[in-house]
Chain A
Amino acid sequence: MVGLDHYLLVSGLLFALGLVGVALRRSALVTLMCLEMTLNAANLAAVAFSHYLGRAEGQILVFFTIVIAAAEVAVGLAIFVALFRQKQTVSLDDLTSMRS
């Protein structure tokens, strides 16, 4: 019987996967995708808690998270487009002008 623990395990694994992706990939776009994966892992945990504890707050939290994540992606991608205009690259290896 699948319970809360199983959902939390899947959520944790997905979060770890997203974190590994952020550490490994050097393309800013794919890094942003991996960040979305970690956000989704958190969402899954919140919905699972909401379902198994019988509280509606978890789903409301996830609703807000999805809206904010959509806004965040839009702003992030606009920053990348502006960055690409300046530097002709979005590889995180080449964007080191703020490194001392």
Chain B
Amino acid sequence: MGVQDLLFWFFSAAMLLCGVLVIANRNPVNSAMFLILLFINMAGLFLLLEAFFLAIVQILVYAGAVMVLFLFVIMLLDIKEGARKPVKKLAVGLAAAVGLALSAEIWLAIQGPAAPAGAPLHGGLKEVVKQLFTNYLLPFEVTALILLVAMLGVVLLSRGREVK
């Protein structure tokens, strides 16, 4: 078993553990902290898959910008812990059924014939960027427009009534 395999198991186990802790924690701030850890482990997996650019973007955008936004809103809204109502039985049953069914389906799916293996994409950043700015130039520009629209929407939503 090589170093890469060990790292894969480490990152995967840590990531799934963080996922469980995100759900299990009562305090939203703790959930957010474990979500940051989850994103960092995901970046590690991206590194193992030689998607170096995406690993950096994952850290910068997700663990950085998105989670700061989450924490900011959690602290802004000051969500009270309070006495929590017990979890609904129906929700637990539904969640367990969905989770188990999905896991079983994945397990069955990977028992089938192995996926056709192409030549692994080693250090494919050059290829990725070339495609991004030629074949996928229009989606790229549309994405920039979506960011602008989202920004305007957020400003409009959070401006409040009294400023009108």
Q: Decide: A47 near B65, CB < 8 A? Known: A12-B106, A33-B31, A64-B139.
A: no
Say whether B77 contacts A80, CB under 8 Å: yes
> How distant is the Cα of A30 from the Cα of B27 in the complex, in angstroms?
9
Give the interface residue-count category, chain B: 35 or more
Give the interface residue-count category, chain A: 35 or more
Secondary structure type dominating chain B contacts: helix
**Among B51, B118, B147, residue most surrounded by chain A Cβ atoms (within 10 Å):** B51
Say whether A52 contacts B120, CB under 8 Å: yes
> How distant is the Cα of A42 from the Cα of B163 in the complex, in angstroms?
40
Q: Decide: A24 near B128, CB < 8 A? Known: A15-B102, A17-B19, A47-B54.
A: no
Say whether A66 contacts B57, CB under 8 Å: yes
Secondary structure type dominating chain A contacts: helix
> How distant is the Cα of A63 from the Cα of B92 in the complex, in angstroms?
34
Interface residues of A (CB under 8 A from B): 1-10, 12-21, 23-25, 27, 29-30, 32-34, 36-37, 40, 43-44, 47-57, 59-60, 62-64, 66-75, 77-82, 84-85, 90, 93
Say whether B12 contacts A10, CB under 8 Å: yes
Q: List chain B residues, Cβ under 8 A from A50.
A: 49, 51, 121, 124
Say whether A44 contacts B128, CB under 8 Å: no
Say whether A66 contacts B115, CB under 8 Å: no
> How distant is the Cα of A40 from the Cα of B53 in the complex, in angstroms?
16
Q: List chain A residues, Cβ under 8 A from B15.
A: 10, 14
